[in-house]
Structures are given as C-alpha cells and as structure tokens.
Structure 1
C-alpha cells in the first residue's frame, strides 16, 4: 500500500483540497528539534538509519501550526518526537506482547510527571517526558492537567490491549477497532493545541456531543491515514492493529480493496468533522461562552480541521514508514529503567 491513494481523495474531500501551509521558520525548527532529540538520547547514531530519526517530526509540527510562535511549535515537535519514541518501544518486544509491561512502563512515566523529576539514571523516555511536562503544564490550569493525564491513561490502556491481542493472536473486530485505535494513537497530542496556542477550552464545551464528534472524527481520519502508510511494515512483523488489516479480515478483502475501503472511511469521517464544525456556532451561543472562549474555540477548531491535510503532507515527506538505508542502531530500551 502507498499513500498515493490518500492524495487521490483530495478531489472529493473538501478538507483535503489544498496543501497545508508551512511555518516560515521550519528550517530552524528542524535543527533545534534534532539537537534536542539527540541530547535526550531519543535519537542515536545516523538519523537516516532509524524510523524515529527519519520521521521529521518538526515538519508535521510546522504544518499543523504554521503561524504559531516558533518556541511553541518546537515544543509540539518535541512532544511528537517523544510520542513516536514511545510508540517504537511499545510496538516491539517485550512491550509489544505484554500488557503488564505497558502498565509498568506507564506507571514509571506518570509517577515521574507527578514527582516533577526523573529518577537517578532514568532512561530517555522518562527524563524527556518530565522535561516536556514541566514546560507544557506551567501555564495551564489544574483542569487541563487532569484532562491531559486522563488521555495518557487512555493511551496506556489502548496500547496494553493491543499487546494482549498480539500475544493471543486476536484480530480486533471492526466494531471494537475504532475506539481502540483512537486510544492507542496518542490522544494526548490533540490536547497540546491549547498550550501551543496559549488558550484553554472550557470543560463544558469539551463535554458536548458535537465537540466530541469533531475531535473523534479528526483523530480517526489521522489514525486511519497513518494505518495506510504503515500497513506494509506492520504486516511484515505480523501486527494486525491497522484498519486495512481489520477490514480485510472482517470482509475477506485483498489488500487493494481493503485500502480503497479505508479511504472511503476516512472521507466519511472528515465529512463528519466538517459537519460538526459547521454546527458549532449555534452550540457556542447556547453555552453562552465569553468572547475570549469563543475565540479560543475557533483557533482550536481550525487546528483540528487543518490537521488531516497537514498529516497527509507529512506522510509524503517523512521517511518513518520507509525502509532504512543502513543497519538500525540499538533501539531505545524503554524497559531498562524497570530492571
């Protein structure tokens, strides 16, 4: 499978029609994020020899936030780098087949966040997370911090469930896959739009069905687009936690037909997102939000609606899902801090 199928959707999905904008200082961003990732031990050796090194997270950050302050965009790019480093650890043994291992790793991570410092000798994932959390949460409310922690727990639970599925060789049913994939695909990342933009959304807005439809639809479209890009690599290692594999198993489809069906599902979810967004103004009136709250909501909605196309353009320029040019360096040992 290749992502050309996704670009063929741009004629029929209005939200994907035009290329995403790019932050004017993206070139500076790349150097800064690479220096940070190397300094924290997340990227080792030649970047071109590892999926994380080839990912170019700064390009995605620069496309999602093309007009934000550079330091804030860099913070988001660092979070993306950390999230992909965590993803690499969770997708490979021993964590890939150990739900208890996933919970143990997350216990260490969240305890470090609450303490405000990593343990002596902590490995890169823990130390980098403490640094990111301190910088991100400093100006955010207790309610936002609680919400973010809940999303980390949702991610933990989704990844642990995937690990169990791999161990018992269970292919998720179509009905259960959507919510599972949403939990396992970094749901906490979407809540970073607020600190990047310097705003905070009122809790009563986030609890409304319309906002949930918007947020979930965007998350699904991004996750399923990623599934198309990563399917071949995941199939090579026997992983079935992507939508093409799930639909192929559920409907007896070959790879091309499964991919085409995934594209249809993405188009449907993007239409759901835009429909929900168009209906938001009436809901904002009913909630009697302040002018500042309405402005914050408008900024975050724009980021959400722009993200699927930004992610698509990033997939085209990232090397994360392509074979490396040489031997891969030693993978980040996320479990070393548990020994």
Structure 2
C-alpha cells in the first residue's frame, strides 16, 4: 500500500504562518543539542519535515511557542528511531533513558537529568518551556499520557528483543497501538499552544474520553497505512496491516483494505461523538467561557487528525525507497543514523 493513500476527512485545518521562522530555529537547535550529529543524520531528519507536522497540528501557536513545539516534536520521533531490537543491551538502555524522560515532568523545574544523553538533556530544556504557564492539573495530565506512551515503547522494544513482537492479536495490537502512537499528550499540547485548558469535568466525561481514544486510533491506523512499505522493508511487525495479514491468513492487499476500513470506521464514530459535544456541554451546565475552551479542545483534536494526515502524505519518514547510510541503519534494525542514547 503506497504512502499517498487518501482518506475523506470532512474538515480542513490551517497551517501556522510561523512555519519558516520556526523551522530555521528548530533545525539549528537540533544540531546545537546534538540530537542530529552527522551529515547523513541531518539529511534524514530534514526529509521527515517535522516542522510541517508541528505547523499543521499546532497552527495557532505564537512564533516562539512554535519553536518550542517543534523542538518537543522531534524528541519522540528521534527516540523511536533509536530502537535496535537485535541488541538486548540496547533494550536495557532504552528503558533507562525512557524512565528519565518519564520522571522529568515530575521533578522540580530546572532539575538536572540523572541519566545524561542528548535526548534527556534536550527534554529537560523543552519541558521547562512547554509547561510554562500551565496548571498543575494540565502538567499532571500531560505527564501521565507521556509516561504511558514511553512505557508502551519500552514494551514494544522488549517484545521485539524476545522475539514476541509478532504474537499480538488484533485486539491486543489495537489497544497497544493506542498507547504507542502518543496522541493523548500531543492533543494536550494543543492546549499549551493556545494558552487554554479544557475544563476537568469535560476531560472526565465519557464523550471526550472516547473522542480522544478514537482520534488516537484513527491517527495510529492512518500512520500504519502510510508507513507500511517502509516498515515492511525494515521487517517491523508493529503495523496493523501485518497483524491483520497474520491473523486473517489473507493477502497483503486484503489486509491493507481491511485496515483502511477499520480506520474509516474509527473516524466515523469520532464524528458522531463530536456532534454530541454541545449536548455534553448542556449536561455539564457549562458557561460561555468553558464552552469556548471545549470548542478549542475539539479543534486541537481536529488539528491532529487532519494535520498529521496531510503531513504523512509527503514526509520522507514514510518514504518506501531509500538508499545510503539511513537504509543501512534501518536494515540493521534501527531507523536513525546517529546514536542519541549515549554521551
């Protein structure tokens, strides 16, 4: 299934006017922090065009906040590409670094990382800026979602290291993918991008909880479809199409078609729930200010569904055909040229 598979999304989202300003500063930052070290690594990283993804998913952020969001955006992607399932010692190091990334938001501001490498140092710097001005409630919510995301990635590496990655059934994989895609905290960052917070009673409402889960499923399955050729080339079984083919005993084409249908079903259910948001606000007896914040919260979800989709159609990260040092690294089991987990 090619990268340019199209979905019918019933809404458009804007692109930040600060894209080029922030892109220049962000690319300088990833070099200065050592997140990208080699020429080959920089070429690979720029081909992903993560600044475009951030500009589409956080279109209303200020120019300086857009730089912060782009910097944060890079960390999860670069950390993910450090995985080398063929080395048990690598899995141990990934878990050690992940624990440091998880606890950073729980420590006092300005704390020095206890596990030192480019990613932990960069995250400590980014979190100081990302959390600025947000309530403890928001920071705790973000930290919890961020932690679940990182733990899921450690579990993924552990399963691969033990040769068990191909054992997940469809139901297990779908629940696992919801965590590894990292959308809940990414939507939370949409609040930071505009300086508002969704009321706590809304975050706890079953409609909003289900909408966020469905957004994660929709985006995760879309990403699986768009990245399928790249991941099949790498021998990566953490993909919905691979799981469906194995469980159904069908062809790649049939598995891809079913994955597409599952994705559109998630999107359709999300849209039905979105239409219930005004009634939810009535149930909770929200005032005008709270309703406005709920509306921006829904926008944050929409920006992620559509913005990530538009980025995925063109990013070099999902490109199927690659040659050179990056292709060599991928064949070795790791997607990144540069080692970022050691000093």
Shared topology, TM-score over 0.5? yes
SS at match of 1:14: coil
Ranges in structure 2 where 5+ consecutive residues have no aligned partner = 330-335
1:68 counterpart residue number = 61
CA distance in 2, matches of 1:146, 1:93: 35
CA distance in 1, matches of 2:89, 2:299: 35
Which of 223, 233, 239 does residue 230 from structure 2 map onto?
Answer: 233
SS at match of 1:176: helix
Q: CA deviation at 1:164?
A: 2.9
Ranges in structure 1 where 5+ consecutive residues have no aligned partner = none
1:163 counterpart residue number = 157
1:144 counterpart residue number = 138
CA distance in 1, matches of 2:133, 2:238: 36
Question: Is the contact made by 1:213 and 1:272 (CA closer than 8 Å) also made in structure 2?
Answer: no
CA RMSD of superposed structures (Å): 2.5
SS at match of 2:130: helix
Kindly report which structure 2 residues correspond to 1:97-176, keeping only aligned pairs within 5 A, or say none. 98=91, 100-113=92-105, 114-115=107-108, 116-119=110-113, 122-166=116-160, 167-171=162-166, 172-176=168-172
Which of 166, 179, 189 does residue 183 from structure 1 map onto?
Answer: 179
Q: CA deviation at 1:73?
A: 2.3
Q: CA deviation at 1:228?
A: 1.4
Which of 325, 328, 340 does residue 327 from structure 1 map onto?
Answer: 325
TM-score by length of 1: 0.88
SS at match of 2:189: helix
1:303 counterpart residue number = 300
2:333 counterpart residue number = none
Deviation by residue 1:142-164 (Cα, 9 ceiling, x = unmatched): 11111112112211221122123
SS at match of 1:168: coil
Larger displacement relative to structure 2 (193-202 or 109-118): 109-118
CA distance in 1, matches of 2:114, 2:89: 26
CA distance in 2, matches of 1:50, 1:159: 25
Deviation by residue 1:96-137 (Cα, 9 ceiling, x = unmatched): 973x54432222223444153334892110011001110011
Q: CA deviation at 1:72?
A: 2.1
CA distance in 2, matches of 1:304, 1:283: 17
Question: Is the contact made by 2:199 and 2:293 (CA closer than 8 Å) also made in structure 1?
Answer: no
1:336 counterpart residue number = 342
1:44 counterpart residue number = 37
Larger displacement relative to structure 2 (226-235 or 296-305): 226-235
Kindly report which structure 2 residues correspond to 1:230-309, keeping only aligned pairs within 5 A, or say none. 230-309=227-306
Question: Is the contact made by 1:54 and 1:320 (CA closer than 8 Å) also made in structure 2?
Answer: yes
Q: CA deviation at 1:232?
A: 2.3
CA distance in 2, matches of 1:232, 1:211: 33
CA gap 1:317/1:237 in 2 versus in 1, 3 angstroms: closer
Which of 200, 210, 214 does residue 211 from structure 2 map onto?
Answer: 214
Deviation by residue 1:187-239 (Cα, 9 ceiling, x = unmatched): 42221111111001222211111101111111111111111122222223322
Q: CA deviation at 1:48?
A: 6.9
Q: CA deviation at 1:259?
A: 1.4
Deviation by residue 1:36-93 (Cα, 9 ceiling, x = unmatched): 1111111223367654332111101111233332222222222111110111123655
TM-score by length of 2: 0.87
